[in-house]
């Protein structure tokens, strides 16, 4: 089954990423990591606005009490989307100046999970996946990560799904909601060769996973129980980075993309690279978890 997509914002983002829907406010947050911008797209008006964060910003999440958190190069931070004011809460990699935070999400208990990657020449295994507790403490959940990316939790809160783009797969872990501990890593989805690298990920109301394909030009839907491919959304751009359900009915899939690293020729062939896209795949997502701190 192929599903059509439309360009909703010709953003020409360098590295569009981190799509996440705020159901309370009816807006989609997304970031341009390399430009250090946190964006807010309002589908009701088509308006997009952003603040300059002042450093690379990997992702943002909403706080239960209102406002936003961000994972930036300098650590976990509070972010004021009106003023752009950033206050670092915890920097677990203060001693690793070549690393920056990349993708992340909140878990069912309201912890903020986000992972890092090295911007150096040999990034293999130099990143980690961290957890920010509601009280501001942070701990490392996983070491040896290359490009920490998509993360999602099963609806029974027993399983965490995770993507390190260096592995052409979605991993699953046993997940303990009470402590945040993860264990027993195994592969639940394997991407075929030639399909690019798995990047951002979200879960739908039926518990199936949607995966963005960096250099694969599509988003795919998978059954994590059987490992079967269920649907494909081809995009007119190659560097597809993240996806999130949104809209008032949570039945719209928003998809970010990037133009970083593309040659002028490639950009001429895919002029919508860096755009924000939307599909209506005929099913719904679930509300994003918020940070409890």
**Residue 36, token pair as written in the block:** 């250090």
Cβ distance to Ca ion smaller for residue 109 or 164: 164
Cβ distance to Ca ion smaller for residue 109 or 145: 145
Report helix, strand or coil for 210.
strand
Shortest approach of Ca ion to residue 58 CB, angstroms?
A: 8
Q: Which of 244, 249, 237, 202 is nearest to 222 (CA)?
A: 202
One of 128, 149, 159, 238 touching Ca ion (CB under 5 A):
149
Determine, following the binding rule CB under 5 A, whether residue 159 of this chain makes contact with Ca ion: no
Determine, following the binding rule CB under 5 A, whether residue 148 of this chain makes contact with Ca ion: no
Cβ distance to Ca ion smaller for residue 59 or 159: 59
Stretch that binds Ca ion, among 127-135, 141-149, 255-263, 273-281 (CB under 5 A): 141-149
DSSP string, 135-183: TS-EEEEEEEESBEEEEEE-TTSSEEEEEETTSSEEEEEEE-TTT--EE
CA distance 199 to 149: 6
**Residue 206, token pair as written in the block:** 């039926």
Cβ distance to Ca ion smaller for residue 8 or 114: 114
Q: Which residue is nearest to Ca ion (CB)?
A: 103
CA distance 55 to 279: 31
Stretch that binds Ca ion, among 10-18, 40-48, 185-193, 258-266 (CB under 5 A): 10-18
Chain residues binding Ca ion by CB under 5 A are 17, 103, 149, 199-200
């Amino acid at each position: 089954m192929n599903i059509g997509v439309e360009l909703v914002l010709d953003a020409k983002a360098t590295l569009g990423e981190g799509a996440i829907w705020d159901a309370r406010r009816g807006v989609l947050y997304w970031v341009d990591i390399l430009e250090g911008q946190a964006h807010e797209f309002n589908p009701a008006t088509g308006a997009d606005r952003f603040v300059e964060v002042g450093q690379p910003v990997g992702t943002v999440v909403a706080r239960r009490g209102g406002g936003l958190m961000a994972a930036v190069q300098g650590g976990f931070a509070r972010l004021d989307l009106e003023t752009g004011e950033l206050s670092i809460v915890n920097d677990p990699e203060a001693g690793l100046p070549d690393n920056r935070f990349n993708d992340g999400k909140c878990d069912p208990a309201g912890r903020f999970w986000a992972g890092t990657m090295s911007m150096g020449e040999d990034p293999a295994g130099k990143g980690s996946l961290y957890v920010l507790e509601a009280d501001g403490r942070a701990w490392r959940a996983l070491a040896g990560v290359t490009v920490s990316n998509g993360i999602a939790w099963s609806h029974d809160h027993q399983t965490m799904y995770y993507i390190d783009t260096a592995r052409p797969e979605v991993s699953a872990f046993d997940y303990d909601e009470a402590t945040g501990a993860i264990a027993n890593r195994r592969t639940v989805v394997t991407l075929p060769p030639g399909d690019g690298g798995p990047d951002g990920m979200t879960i739908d109301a039926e518990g199936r996973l949607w995966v963005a394909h960096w250099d694969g030009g599509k988003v795919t839907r998978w059954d994590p129980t059987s490992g079967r491919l269920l649907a494909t959304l081809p995009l007119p751009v190659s560097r597809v980075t993240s996806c999130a359900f949104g809209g008032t009915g949570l039945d719209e899939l928003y998809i970010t993309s990037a133009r970083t690293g593309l040659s002028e020729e490639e950009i001429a062939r895919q002029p919508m690279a860096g755009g924000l896209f939307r599909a209506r795949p005929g099913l719904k997502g679930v509300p994003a978890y918020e940070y409890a701190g």
